[in-house]
Structures are given as structure tokens and as C-alpha cells.
Amino acid sequence: MTPVDPPFTTPVHAGQTDAVHPLVDVSALARQLYRDPGPVLLDVRWNLAGPPGIEAYRRGHLPGAVFVDLDRDVAAEPGAGGRHPLPSADAFQEAMRRAGVSAAQPVVVYDEADASAAARLWWTLRYYGHPDVRVLDGGFRAWTGAGRPVETDEPDPPRGDFTARPGGLPVLDAAGAAALARDGVLLDARAAERYRGEKEPVDPVAGHIPGAVSAPTSDNVDESGCFLPSLALRERFAGLGATDAQHVGAYCGSGITAAHEVLALTIAGVPAALYVGSWSEWITDPSRPVATG
């Protein structure tokens, strides 16, 4: 991935590439667990409506996996920056070191199935400079569906040495998102009815950023929660105007499922920026326009 021009507010570092494929399947991960060192496994199961992911983790998780709390560890406190702002480098670094993450050791992240939460942890690790992060395709459900073992013991991993350096992936602020919706392609990752303003179960204002294109993340995965093949994703996004010849970005309600969109775009070979604050930040300023329909 090469450096990008405005409206991206944080360019990709010159010379950085996406040589590491962002997904790993169950069979490949099972083989990697026998390597020394194997990957650090991070369980980030989460649901906006609850219950807390730690409950599912304690009922069973991949062998050696450490639980990461999305609200506490992968986001800052809600506020003017939205419901899930980017955590500070210091806070994220501490959370990852506590989970055993080091720069020289690969990381695999997973959630229940469709990567809607795992993608945000994948993105945040990549944004803060970790070079080797993958998402378990199909998540915990795919692992158990293949008859792989789970455990309930909570490991106490050795402290990692990961250093968080911001800027590893491009981001958008509100002005950048507005400019991209006008001059490039800004994808709205929420359900179509939320985009149209017909239903808004979370935020106090319904609608979308003017010029944004509806692209629900549910269309990125199959019924099992696994991502569609890269060619199918590339064709899907091309149909929405999002290709590697365009400046592309994504947003959602609070920057969680938009990271899923960025992950799907990465699989498709289309570089994209994330508007971390997303709709929940956009609507904090009443002067920003809102579109419906």
C-alpha cells in the first residue's frame, strides 16, 4: 500500500506493504499453534447489545487465547469523538502488552463468527504498527464447528513488548469523510435501513453522510460468517464504485463494523481509510449535514 493524498488525514508509512494476508483459516491456525513460537491468540468476542464477551470467553475459548475487551482495550471513552474513539497509543500499548503481544510474534484475533469485532482489533493493531496480524475466518464458531479443542482456563501470558506507533493505516476525520464522500467513495457499513434513516436503534439522529454509498457489512460474509472470496468481494465493491483506482473510505455507527469493511476491502485488494468516529461523531456537530433516503 502506497502513501495516499488528502482527504486521508494519516498516510500509510512509505514502504509499508500488506504482504501478510489478513485472514487465517481453522486448519492453518491449528498447525501454527504447534510452532514455537506460535501466534498470540486474542479473543475479542463482543456484541453491542450484550452480554459482555468475557462471559462467552469463560465458557470456552481457543487454547491459550487471552480475552481483550473491545470497549475497554480497543476504544477510548465515549465522548465528542464518538461511541468508540481510537484509544491513545499509551493505553492501547499497555492493553496489548498485558495480553502478551510483542512486535516479533504474529497475532491472531477472533470473535464469535463474522469478524465484526475482530476486524476492529485487527485494524487497531495494524494502525499502531504491528506487522503480522490475522483474523480467524469464521471465528470461534468455525473453530468449534471443525471439532477443534477449547478450554476454560484463563492464561497468564508473559508481558509483551509491543510498542504502539500510530499511522500504520490511513484514517479519516469528519472533514476528510465529507471530502471523500464528495470526491471519492465513502462506504456506509451499517444496515441499509439505518443508512436510509428509516431506523436508528443506537444514535440520536438517523440518516447518513451526504454522498456516502450504502454497503452493509453483512454482504461481505456468507451465512457461516466467513468472508466471501477475494474476487467476489472485489466485484462487490467495484459495483459500488470502490476500486483501487479510487480514494476509498468507510464509516459506520462508531467505527467498529467500518473496520470490518476496511478488512473486506483489504482482502479485495482495495486500500481504504477508516473514519473512526463515524456517524456517532458526525452528528455531534449540528452544522454537519444529514441525508436520508
Domain count along the chain = 2
SS (H, E, C) 150-203: CECCCCCCCCCCCCCCCCCCCEECHHHHHHHHHHCEEEECCCHHHHHCCCCCCC
In a domain, 213, yes or no: yes
Instruction: Give the residue from 94, 129, 145 where a domain finishes.
Output: 145
Q: Are 10 and 166 in contact (CB under 8 A)?
A: yes
So what's the pLDDT on residue 1? 28
226 is catalytic: no
- Residues 188, 13, 5, 22: is their CA dihedral positive or negative? negative
Residue 187 burial (CB count, 10 A): 28
In a domain, 58, yes or no: yes
Instruction: Give the residue from 130, 145, 160 where a domain finishes.
Output: 145
Q: What domain range is 115 assigned to? A: 23-145
So what's the pLDDT on residue 19? 58
Instruction: Give the residue from 145, 162, 180 where a domain finishes.
Output: 145
In a domain, 244, yes or no: yes
> Do 122 and 213 fall within a single domain?
no
3 state SS of 63:
coil
The count of C-alpha atoms lying within 13 angstroms of the C-alpha of 97, restricted to the half-sphere facing its C-beta, is 11
Q: Which of 68, 121, 252, 274 is an active site residue?
A: 252
So what's the pLDDT on residue 3? 30
Closest CA to 250 of 177, 196, 193, 192: 177
> Do 133 and 176 fall within a single domain?
no
- Average pLDDT along the chain, 293 residues, taken 10 residues at a time: 34 41 97 89 92 94 97 96 97 98 96 97 98 98 97 96 98 98 98 97 96 98 97 98 96 98 98 98 97 96
In a domain, 2, yes or no: no
Cell matching residue 285:
456537530
Cell matching residue 110:
477472533
Cα 21 to Cα 103: distance, rounded to the nearest angstrom: 17
Identify the CATH number of the domain in which residue 241 sits. Answer: 3.40.250.10
In a domain, 262, yes or no: yes
Report the Cα 184 to chain-centroid distance in Å. 21
In a domain, 12, yes or no: no
